[in-house]
């Protein structure tokens, strides 16, 4: 709590890379988001804050949001959202996972940060329901069918709300949909019931579809297509000069590849040891496998093909979101081996580097 309080205090600065962007949204009733019809729930919240604090109350609204994020961190770290598996090293890894989740999202990219809070609440409901299904399968006391429907209905609703706050979180909705589809249901009747888990052939098909869509997206961006036109319309005049791929970039993304593989390996081990079960296990398998791998490959191909950095940045933010959620899920379910701690520290360090670069570019202040 002290650490996040300090981060939130530092974010109340004009050196915050997105400070003036959100001020423009606040003071001009939505700016480009309103013109493009994007993120309506966030615009409703902004309009409410503008009415509450006045047209010149942008700083007060940021303080209000900072307290909201601080409360969310308190609930998450205390076990009120997820029931924490308090094994050895629980809080060390949880702290690293939480810092990575909120380091930029709760301080700079607040629209994404606000959207991530219902995403996390949704995953907590899915996890609870998956454990309840496992208890029913093992003939222990499980929750009622109605309660299960309410949990999953709540999870879907929260993911839809998240997508309406920030459209960058919509992939989580599709990943949960895929997880429900790949998860084997228990057989009824005279047949022996099977535990709910991912069916291999369906999971394999998700891998194929993910890489096909990733390749199609990069081809559209490189050769010119509808996706390139959409990206250009969103970016507007913010498109920047493409620079040659450097050795340092190759080294950085080589390390990212190693981090992605380690996360996938830990999730696979958790599934084999039944630390995670049911739809939640399928969700985490898809998130750490096809979703992260396809996004990572897209970034590498975009760099090689010299696609504009602004588009690459969108892919990078998507990868960061996937990795942050995967690390958080591993932290709360008890998978806390030291490689995951190193992965979290590496990812936080790269976020610090990225923020320092942004401040240097926008304000000419060299922090490194």
Higher-confidence residue of 72 and 86: namely 72
Per-residue model confidence (pLDDT) at position 238: 46
Residues 6+ apart with CB under 8 A from 91: 77
- 8-22: per-residue pLDDT in tens? 888 888 788 888 999
H or E element at residue 75: helix 58-77
pLDDT at position 190 over 60: no
149: confidence class by pLDDT, cuts 50, 70, 90 = confident
Q: What is the mean pLDDT of residues 198-202?
A: 87
Give the C-alpha separation, 321 to 299, whole Å. 14
- State residue 198 phi and psi, 5-degree precision: -70, 135
pLDDT at position 343 over 80: yes
Q: How many CA atoms lie within 13 A of 39 on its CB side?
A: 23
Concatenating the DSSP letter of every residue in 175-194 gives HHHHHHHHBPPPP-TTSPP-
Residues 6+ apart with CB under 8 A from 283: 123, 126, 175, 176, 179
Of the candidate ranges 21-35, 137-151, 152-166, the one whose mean pLDDT is the lowest: 137-151
pLDDT at position 237 over 60: no
Give the C-alpha separation, 320 to 355, whole Å. 14
46: confidence class by pLDDT, cuts 50, 70, 90 = very high
Rounded to 10 deg, the angle between the 40-53 and 145-165 helix axes is 70
Higher-confidence residue of 89 and 171: namely 171
Q: What is the mean pLDDT of residues 241-245?
A: 63
Candidates 354, 316, 360, 368; CA nearest to 107 is 354
Per-residue model confidence (pLDDT) at position 139: 59
Q: Counting Cβ atoms within 10 Å, is residue 366 exposed (0-12), middle (13-18) or buried (19+)? A: exposed
Give pTM, 2 decimals. 0.91
With vertex at residue 69, the alpha carbon angle to CA 85 and CA 321, rounded to the nearest 5 degrees, is 70
Candidates 73, 50, 61; CA nearest to 3 is 73
Give the C-alpha separation, 318 to 26, whole Å. 25
Per-residue model confidence (pLDDT) at position 239: 46
- 89-136: per-residue pLDDT in tens? 678 888 899 999 999 999 999 999 999 999 999 999 999 988 887 776
Per-residue model confidence (pLDDT) at position 360: 76
Residues 6+ apart with CB under 8 A from 349: none
Per-residue model confidence (pLDDT) at position 160: 97
pLDDT at position 51 over 90: yes
Q: What is the token pair recorded at 183?
A: 């998860």
Q: What is the mean pLDDT of residues 289-297?
A: 96
pLDDT at position 60 over 90: yes
- 249-282: per-residue pLDDT in tens? 889 999 999 999 999 999 999 888 888 888 999 9
Q: What is the mean pLDDT of the chain?
A: 86
- State residue 183 phi and psi, 5-degree precision: -80, 125
Q: Which residues of 124-142 are buried (b: 16+ CB within 10 A; e: fewer)?
A: bbbbbbbbbbbebbeeeeb
* Rg value, the chain, Cα: 21
Give the C-alpha separation, 158 to 138, whole Å. 29
Q: What is the mean pLDDT of residues 39-43?
A: 95
Give the C-alpha separation, 136 to 166, whole Å. 36
- 202-222: per-residue pLDDT in tens? 999 999 999 999 999 898 887
């Amino acid at each position: 709590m002290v650490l996040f309080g300090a981060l939130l205090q530092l974010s109340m600065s004009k050196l915050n890379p997105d400070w003036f962007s959100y001020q423009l949204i606040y003071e001009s009733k939505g700016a480009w988001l309103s013109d493009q019809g994007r993120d309506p729930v966030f615009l409703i919240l902004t309009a409410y804050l503008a009415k509450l604090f006045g047209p010149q109350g942008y700083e007060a609204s940021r303080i209000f949001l900072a307290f909201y994020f601080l409360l969310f961190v308190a609930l998450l770290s205390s076990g009120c959202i997820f029931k924490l598996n308090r094994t050895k090293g629980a809080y060390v890894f949880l702290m690293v996972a939480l810092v990575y989740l909120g380091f930029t999202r709760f301080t700079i990219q607040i629209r994404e940060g606000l959207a991530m809070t219902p995403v996390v609440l949704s995953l907590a409901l899915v996890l609870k329901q998956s454990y309840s299904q496992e208890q029913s399968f093992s003939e222990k006391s499980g929750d009622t069918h109605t309660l299960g429907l309410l949990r999953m209905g709540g999870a879907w609703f929260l993911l839809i709300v998240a997508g309406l706050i920030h459209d960058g979180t919509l992939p989580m909705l599709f990943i949960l949909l895929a997880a429900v589809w790949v998860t084997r249901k228990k057989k009824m009747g005279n047949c022996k019931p099977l535990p709910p888990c991912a069916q291999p052939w369906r999971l394999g098909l998700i891998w194929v579809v993910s890489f096909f869509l990733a390749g199609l997206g990069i081809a559209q961006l490189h050769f010119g297509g509808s996706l390139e036109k959409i990206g250009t319309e969103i970016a507007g005049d913010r498109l920047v000069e493409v620079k040659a791929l450097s050795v340092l970039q190759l080294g950085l993304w080589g390390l990212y590849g190693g981090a992605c593989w380690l996360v996938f390996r830990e999730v696979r081990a958790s599934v084999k040891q039944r630390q995670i079960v049911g739809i939640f296990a399928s969700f985490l398998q898809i998130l750490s496998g096809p979703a992260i791998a396809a996004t990572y490959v897209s970034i590498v191909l975009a760099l090689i093909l010299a696609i504009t950095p602004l588009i690459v940045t969108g892919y990078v933010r998507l990868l960061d979101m996937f990795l942050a959620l995967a690390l958080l899920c591993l932290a709360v379910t008890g998978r806390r081996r030291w490689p995951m701690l190193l992965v979290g520290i590496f990812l936080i360090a790269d976020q610090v580097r990225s923020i320092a670069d942004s401040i240097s570019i926008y304000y000419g202040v060299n922090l490194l």
